[in-house]
Amino acid sequence: MPKRLASSLSDEVLEHVFSFIQSEKDRNVVSAVCKSWYEIERWCRRKIFVGNCYAVSPEMVIRRFPQVRSIELKGKPHFTDFNLVPDGWGGYVLPWITEMAGAYPWLDEIRLKRMVVTDESLELIAKSFKDFKVLVLASCEGFSTDGLAAIAASCKNLRELDLRESEVDDSSVHWLSHFPETYTSMVSLNISCLGSGEVSFSALERLVSRCPNLRSLKLNRAVPLDKTANILRLAPQLVEFSACTYSAELRSDVFSNLAGAFSNCKELRSLSGFWDVVPDYLPAIYSVCSRLTSLNLSYATILSPDLIKLVSHCPSLQRLLVLDYIEDSGLEALASNCKDLQELRVFPSDPFDAEPNASLTEQGLVAVSLGCPKLQSVLYFCRRMSNAALVTIAQNRPNLNRFRLCIIEPNTADYLTGEPFDVGFGAIVEHCKALIRLSLSGLLTDCVFEYIGKYAKKLEMLSVAFAGDSDLGLHHVLSGCESLRKLEIRDCPFGDKALLTNAAKLETMQSLWMSSCSVSFEACKLLSQKMPRLNVEVIDERGPPDSRPENCTVDKLYIYRSVAGPRFDMPPFVWTKDEDLALRLSP
Amino acid sequence: MGRPTSSSSSIDSPNHFAFSSTASSQRDLTTDLRLGLSISIAPPFVRYLFFPIAYGTDAFTVHNQKIYIFREQWPPMKAAVAEEEHECNSSTFYVKVYMEGIPIGRKLDLLAHESYYDLIRTLEHMFHTNIIWAEAEMDRDHYEKYHVLTYEDKEGDWMMVGDVPWEMFLSAVRRLKISKC
């Protein structure tokens, strides 16, 4: 019966039906139904996401999916953001570009995160893909403005160029001028990471004025205030804007020019930048505030009274990023004014001072959890917390799906009771059943991991630091968290036992990072031998791990599943079980 | 890939440790390993007492032991948020400014200012008040709108701000205080 049904629909009809299925997960399910569906699906899959560029090889991707138009790749582990991964670890995109240049002439979108991108890669992209439209380089490095010039010169249909948080070397080439005068397709441009020498204002203004579809523009820090107003006047259709170096003194002519420019922007929904802003200029944006859904003030040293005034003008706010200058009072104002708030991130203005720099405590977060019914995503840095507050937050907001708390000083206890935060985080995982991402901090015993293993069934990513008492903690997580994909751990007393007992679990996950823990090199070698589909990388700059005493623990460990086998581009400080030195990258 | 996968979901170490009741839902098949390696259980967690003290490290006391953590690695924030890049400044000099009645002091970079006028203007913005210093004129009828600015010098004495040349002030100042008239 099912066989008849399957063959009664022609390939074209099935392909048409599949074209409505966009999500990767759904496509994967479709391809598993039967062989013919697998075949049809693989020929019509247009979009690929590879969460770990070493989990699969470009040849394998191309072999299975011959007609891809859009690819997203991620390279280095997340803890690279916190300088825990040494330079040169890997994540090179060139092998991928080289293969795709031949196989996917119609590729039009490349999105990369934490990868090493060279000018050679960018030149190859510019040369190989005739209809190239979207280039996103998030937290990437290894390229210069020369590479950008190649993209600008060749990609006449480029719609999106986003360099967010990448490191770009200045080769002194005026790359923006390489966009030909006939080029008018830019929709989204993010050059906020570039230094002052790397952008020519006149080229920028000419580019902006000839791109009528420009919706998102994120400029770098060095654009002065009068230029900012000019650019806004050239692009009143902007939806997202980031800029502004504010000068120190309020000049009424500059102010009114800026205010006028903003008032023209009826579509503006998202603002960021605000480096060096002086509060007296803030009223210049009041005309757009009522429509703003996203505000990033995490670079702005504005104090609480001015933040409160600003926030009270933004009732439609869904996303706020801000420094702890907002204080509890500011968060209370946020809670009363911004009922649509979905995401809140509060960063520390002075993380290295033992004394607090602003009056921000757990009370602010409790207020927002109570006042903002749509709050789903939290990233909060603070210096004190209580279990009572965490329990309240969990009960107020069971719809949280991302909860990242960083109590700045490691091993800080509940300031009211002196207890660890096991109960508090336990309440979070128990009440917030949709939680997919969690970061822990403060004093924590193995108990918190028992709660996490028991309740956090939807959890996909867990970050742990300075927590736990023994291997039991890690064991609870690995054996209990069914949906776990990424686990990153630093400075915890987790060792060989939990790892080896849960070896099979590791193959169901994308990756495990452990640094400054208690894992021995012997256990790593053993794990690697028994689990051929895991790449077990010991990252240790101190020298060969087996040259040290047997009970010496490895510095850093990165384990990830892969169908591509061991990689061939490992630097000298990455150690695997393979003694074959031919596999090493020669210095 | 070529090799058959292990049929066990866990790997026994010679000192087998059975985790009780919270065992995984998979069967724990023991694997008989004779590798000729003795795998010692990792010792109780020992903190890095010997961690090299590099530039920028901070020491935290954890489990009653001092550990050293690189500033670039903790707290977990991307560099762009943690530290502002002042492209034009090559140095900074932060002092704390306390306002009477507010327990939390604010940090201020004195080297971001060129003169007393610059500093006073910033302080008036930050604290929403009018500041009295050596060269200010005060409306005596509205003294409650004014605050006096003093600084603590190297000797611990509190002095009125503005009495000495700016450069001399920079070399002597340790803290600033804003008090009611």
Chain A: closest CA distance from residue B34 (Å): 11
A503 vs B28: CB contact, 8 Å cut-off?
no
Instruction: Output the six-digit token pair for A470.
Output: 């023994």
The answer to whether A444 and A422 have CB atoms below 8 angstroms apart is: yes
- Residue B75: which of A195, A348, A550 has the nearest Cβ? A348
- Residue B13: which of A84, A410, A500 has the nearest Cβ? A500
- Residue B60: which of A356, A409, A530 has the nearest Cβ? A409
Judged on CB neighbours under 10 Å (0-12, 13-18, 19+), B94 is middle
Kindly state the helix (H) or strand (E) to which residue A388 belongs, with its residue range.
helix A387-396
Chain A: closest CA distance from residue B39 (Å): 6
pLDDT in tens, B62-117: 555 566 677 778 899 986 444 444 334 457 788 888 888 877 778 788 888 889 98
pLDDT attached to residue B100:
87
Q: What domains can be seen in chain A, in order of their start residue?
A: 11-45 (1.20.1280.50), 509-520+528-581 (no CATH)
Chain A: closest CA distance from residue B143 (Å): 23
In sequence order, which residues have a C-beta less than 8 Å from that of residue A555 and are 6 or more positions away? A515, A516, A538, A539, A540, A541, A542
Instruction: Output the six-digit token pair for B19.
Output: 């985790």
CA–CA distance, B96 with B107 (Å, rounded to integer): 5
pLDDT attached to residue A198:
67
How many residues would you count in chain A? 587
- Relative to beta strand A574-575, strand A534-539 is antiparallel
Judged on CB neighbours under 10 Å (0-12, 13-18, 19+), A525 is buried
Predicted model pTM: 0.83
pLDDT attached to residue A290:
96
Q: Kindly state whether B88 is in contact with chain A, defined as any CB-CB distance less than 8 angstroms.
A: no
Amino acid at A279: P
A280 vs B125: CB contact, 8 Å cut-off?
yes
Q: What percent of chain B has pLDDT over 70?
A: 54
Dihedral (Cα; A207, A212, A214, A217), 10-degree rounding: 50
Q: Which residue has the tokens 């993209």?
A: A151
* Spans in chain A with pLDDT lower than 70: 1-8, 196-198, 244-248, 550-551, 579-587
CA–CA distance, B71 with A511 (Å, rounded to integer): 25
Tell me whether the omega of the peptide bond preceding residue A544 falls within 30 degrees of 0, making it cis: no
The three-state secondary structure class of A468 is coil
Please tell me which residue of chain B has the smallest CA distance to A164: B80
Average pLDDT, chain B: 64
Partners of residue A520 in chain B, C-beta under 8 Å: 39-40, 42
Q: Which of A92-96, A263-267, B11-15, B49-53 has the lowest average pLDDT?
A: B49-53
